[in-house]
Structure 1
Amino acid sequence: MTTWSTSDIPDMSGRTAIVTGANSGIGRGAARALAAKGAHVVLAVRDTRKGEAAAAAISGDTEVRRLDLASLASVREFAAGWDGELHLLINNAGVMVPPFSRTADGFELQFGTNHLGHFALTNLLLPHLTGRVVTVSSTGHRFGEIDFDDLNWNTRPYKAWRAYGQSKLANLLFTAELQRRLTEAGSPVLATAAHPGYAATNLQFQSGRRLLDVVSRIGNRLVAQDEDGGALPTLYAATAAVPGNSFAGPGGFMEQRGAPKLVGRTDAATDAAVARRLWDVSEELTGVRFPLAGFERSFAA
């Protein structure tokens, strides 16, 4: 049984990490742990006021920069302002089962934020990356399906949980295809993924439905682990000796809590053909391409 904890994180002195959505929840927990180990941690947040408050409560070397993953213009501005080496990118920010809404670019909010925003950010920052990309998915990927005919819910009735599952499945397919491309390009960068299990964060209270929010509060109180516990799988995927395309999650009670370990994923999350198609569609939607030399695009069916 794994007993991995933050004490197993190696010295991070001299390394720079970006954590999206680090003003609260498991992003804040990850930022706090990395800063405690000596990393320079950039809190990439939509609300810089909240980001500054979070940074002020973290002991270590931190910096706050504005990033709205629901706006490709904001993603491009953030990436264009990056001019140094980057050792670790943690794609953590996300939304969960909100009422139907769209990003600034017209994408369904969950798909646009959870997947497309991080897809664009990662590719724009890849020329600076030397270490790892960790993308936070969810056990919700298990009920996800990539609907290429209507990725952004333009014609079908909106189902918040199904849209969430699609975005979290997309996170795992993105990780798999990113690792394939990095390997083919001869890059030492690793792409990994993680899910937090059931962690008590404010992510559960964006549904706009009072009953669901009340149930979430009860669950948070009785079952969930705190944000530091929820951050452990992310930190494990970011710093432990794991291979590319690894997926980390809690090791106890149905993968909902406990020390992190490598966990399984659905067959849909390992479909290489779907991963490649999703990548191509994501490039078209965002206008952002894989930037590394040495990669040859594959058109295999």
Structure 2
Amino acid sequence: MMDLFQIKCFIHIVDQKSFTKAAFEVSISQSALSKNISKLEKELGIQLFDRSKRLATLTPAGHEFESYARKIQTDYDALLSAVKRFSTSGHLHIGSVEHMGRVGLTAPISSFLKQYPDKSVSIDIEKGDTVGLMNQLMAGKIDMAFIAHIISPISKTSNIDAYQLGQYRLYTLLLDEYHVIIGPQHKFAKRETISWQELAAERLVILNESYSLNTIIRETFRQCGLRPDIVFECDQVDTILGLVEENFGVSLLSKRIATTKYNVVAIRMDSPITRNTVLVIPKEVESHQRLAGQFAHHIINYYEDMTGGSSIRVVSGQS
């Protein structure tokens, strides 16, 4: 009998125009995906895809089936959303930037799950960069996201300014700054602060353009009228810290993240880039989905207790 997973597989193939890509999206092998579609076609007595072409192309019957399949999927998602508001059990799908443990996120998540020893609550964590997580949140693919809110010291622009946030609540859980990260033998190791002019003369190893920090670093140098000596970029924090530890160059990273595992020194910038850990949650989800609301407030209360103060509501321009 036709099931919802087969419909989900069908829709992903249509959207991706590829059996291979669709299989990745639903986390099964391509052969298993093909078997699900073949079983669906056999039950319906029609062929949904023209397999003679390079891209997955719908047959006329497939086009007719698509509109009904999408309606079934939409109605099912709406049903889950409608009943989810009454439930204190179920599943949460959250997003988080890397290095959750180093900014203290693993402890409150663990303590929340311990409230449900019967395993009636589960949490799936999607890791990624801030922009990717915000895009997923806006598309409704995750319930909430823990992001790095990065603010330029000169222009005060941030990495989430492009998003319309009127329907979201943002809670600043941790206040942090990007520090200059140097080896213990570096000439600045005993300094209290470093200027952007001094930093421009150093060999810089930084996160690459897949991270919004890269853009803000470059824009800050430009706004200061400086040309940085960037000698290495990559998407791995541990690689950068390893290079700094070996005195290959210096970097700009969160002090909380940089100093937990490596023999490096963190020096404050005289005009630092702000990096705050922020919880972003749709107002509708926080207010009307009981489990998600309880989880969000458990996290907020944990950080309030840890910091001895209230979490800071980030006020957006569309509030």
TM-score of Structure 1 vs Structure 2, range by shorter chain: under 0.3
After TM superposition, the score normalised by the length of structure 2 is 0.23
- Larger relative contact order (CA 8 Å, sep ≥ 6): 2
After TM superposition, the score normalised by the length of structure 1 is 0.24
Higher Rg of the two aligned structures = 2
